[in-house]
Structure 1
């Protein structure tokens, strides 16, 4: 996972090569990880390894006799046939788990919200820094000096690392009860998130009520569409001072509503001018704009009020079908925050 983030941050995309099932089997069969034969400097260059942090190098091997459990190596025996697309070629002689397979392995022992946050990152157009990988995987906050009220997180723009089709194929392969959380997460997530804050916003407002969300993603006509490109008609273009379209953080077709997260970047002068122009254009298209700020992203009562207004605009009834929903919502919010390295709300 660290190498995936490093590749997305430095090259804007994951440039690893897909391999066939035959090459996957050959790579596992050849893997006998002796520590003195591993080029750790090359792994550092690839962003997959950082010495001095107590980090283990997790290695897949094809049989028990190939294990070499001597620090910093930790071997994992894979005796079953790997699913298609489980491994990718990073460089000649170096293979790594694909984003979908790495996320599947990561899901074991994690909460549903943490797995949803990771999958949204891999599906989205942003990546956290590779330096965030260990602190987040250990359940910590990254960076560790973060303000507890802050819902921003350092991230980098890049191309998606995985598709919904790849995640669904991996979920079909992962039939074991060990991977129930992964299968549940795949049913919740959506592509298109552009930041950790948008991931938390989608998880809360779009996630099912049974896990602590407000289920706006289940509304008809597409639910919640992240970073949706909406072209303006002639009159809306004029209202927007020739801005031809809007990219909506979360467009909800059933409510004809654009849900925007107002992060730090929107507070700059040029951003405020552009936001005003695009909002005029959206109004010309009959689209209502709702803005969520950083404080509201920690306020479940405020999020519920926003969800109720969305349901009302969509002409749907907002109703809870279970008891103890506030406790569930609070736990869900903190799982999502934990998944992106933020402290509890």
Structure 2
């Protein structure tokens, strides 16, 4: 395209993750434009970054550079080692593989980013499976962590151990089905195999880290440390019947994690549920769901640290579905604890 700048910057890896989180916090969505194949090739060919030629002010305004930590390098993507530049504050990553259309997104004129799918494949190269699952749930959820967040960094408010902090509401950056489709076209790049494995077990619509941890544990297969509840819908809307509306005073309920085969909804109750107004709302909502034949099982942060309590809940879900809970995965308890702690660590929760 004639409008392609002579020199471009394509942020990648950790810089791209920071950029995605900044955009979702600012705009409550990811507003960047995906490139077509021809334009994408031109942009990639023009990326031979030099720190001295980069408009650092523009990168700062777009949230791609941390002014408070200028020693943190800007990570960029290039397609050939001849395009790399060895400069302080700049880290180049070579990707010579052909990228499918939509792998590069335009942030601003001359400034681009790798797509969420490509970023997840890159992330999977240096992170373990629970951390990759956590990021996939974040990208496909309606929440985004702080741009400065790194796995293992505790994000509790020290004055209130029960309150989640460090995340913002946002539209999804991508949907799970599309994430999986794009990762299939990125075979061999980063660790796309691990990222695709995580994407295939990712559900759309988690509203908080707590919901993502809960959904991951119950949804992932036994071999990964989960409880293999395959049929699960996050933030599923249940329209109420006339009787349910009369009992609850509500036209519908939105279930955190609805398991249709068990006629049960799992609800993650954060600290705000302890408020009197929230308790009244929860009681009315539970009564309405009961009138619809749906059982409500509430889990709090304490239970999300107790693998025995979580497995007992899984057994109940299987029983209500008329099935038998049979976890024959080798060393399944070890895998369950590793998954639980890995997810907690990824979202900044203390390990149990």
- The TM-score bracket by the shorter chain reads over 0.9
Higher mean displacement: 90-99 or 175-184: 175-184
Pairing 1:280-291 to 2, within 5 Å after superposition: 280-291=287-298
2:162 and 2:271 in contact (8 A); partners too: no
Equivalent position of 2:268 in the other structure:
261
1:168 corresponds to 2:180: yes
Tell me the equivalent position of 2:7. Answer: none
Instruction: Note if 1:45 corresponds to 2:58.
Output: no
Task: Indicate which of 38, 42, 51 corresponds to 1:26.
Answer: 42
Alignment of 1:180 onto 2:193: yes
Question: Does the residue aligned with 2:349 lie in a helix, a strand or coil?
Answer: coil
8 Å contact from structure 1 (residues 149, 295) kept in 2: no
Specify the alignment match of 1:302 in structure 2.
309
Counterpart-to-counterpart distance in 2, 1:324 and 1:62 = 43
State the match for 1:244 in structure 2.
251
**Aligned pair 1:155/2:167, yes or no?**
yes
Contact 1:263/1:293 (<8 A) preserved: yes
Normalising to structure 1: TM-score of the pair?
0.92
Is 1:75 matched with 2:87?
no
Q: 2:99 touches 2:186 (CA, 8 Å); kept in 1?
A: no
Shift of 1:19: 1.2
Partner of 1:215: 228
Aligned counterparts of 1:235 and 1:312: Cα–Cα separation in 2: 27
The secondary structure found in structure 1 opposite 2:281 is helix
Kindly state the Cα deviation for residue 38 of structure 1 after the two structures are TM-superposed: 0.7
**Preserved contact between residue 103 and residue 115 of structure 2 (Cα < 8 Å):** yes
SS of alignment partner, residue 294 of structure 1:
coil
In the TM superposition, what is the alpha-carbon distance from 1:334 to its structure 2 partner? 1.1
- For 2:116 and 2:154, the matched residues in 1 are separated by 21
Between the aligned partners of 1:165 and 1:307, the Cα distance in structure 2 is 26
State how far apart, in whole Å, the 2-side matches of 1:83 and 1:47 are. Answer: 26
Runs (4+) of structure 1 exceeding 4 A deviation are 144-151
**CA contact 2:144–2:168 (8 Å) conserved in 1:** yes
How far apart, CA to CA, are the structure 2 residues paired with 1:63 and 1:310?
Answer: 52
What is the rounded CA distance, in whole Å, between the counterparts of 2:157 and 2:52 in structure 1? 37
SS of the residue aligned with 1:326?
helix
Which of 85, 104, 129 aligns to 2:121? It is 104
Q: Report the TM-score when normalising by structure 2.
A: 0.90
The separation in 2 between residues aligned to 1:302 and 1:21, in whole angstroms, is 50
Pairwise CA distance, 1:167: 1.2
| Kept in 2: contact 1:153–1:196 (CA 8 A) | no
Q: Which moved more, 1:166-175 or 1:226-235?
A: 166-175
Secondary structure of the residue aligned to 2:67 is coil
Q: Work out which of the residue numbers 203, 215, 218 in structure 2 matches 1:190.
A: 203
16 and 318 in structure 1: CA distance in 2 versus 1, 3 angstrom threshold: same
2:160 and 2:85 mapped to 1: Cα distance?
A: 42
Q: In structure 2, how many angstroms separate the alpha carbons of the residues matched to 1:343 and 1:179? A: 28
CA distance in 1, matches of 2:161, 2:329: 29
Distance 2:159 2:253 in 1: 32
Secondary structure of 1:110's match? coil
Q: Secondary structure at the match of 1:160?
A: coil
**What is the total number of aligned residue pairs between the two structures?**
334
Q: Distance in 1 between matches of 2:343 and 2:116?
A: 19
Decide which of 315, 318, 325 is 2:325's aligned counterpart. Answer: 318
Q: In 2 relative to 1, CA 148–256 (structure 1 residues): closer, same or farther, beyond 3 Å?
A: same
Aligned-partner Cα distance in 1 for 2:161–2:131: 19
Equivalent residue, structure 1, for 2:81: 64
List gaps (5 residues or longer) in structure 1: none
**RMSD in angstroms over aligned alpha carbons?**
1.8
- 1:151·1:197 contact (CA, 8 Å) conserved in 2? no
> 1:282 deviation in Å?
0.4
Is the counterpart of residue 17 in structure 1 residue 3 in structure 2?
A: no
Maintained 8 Å contact 1:148/1:344: no
Structure 1 position 2 matched with structure 2 position 27: no
| SS of corresponding position for 2:86 | coil
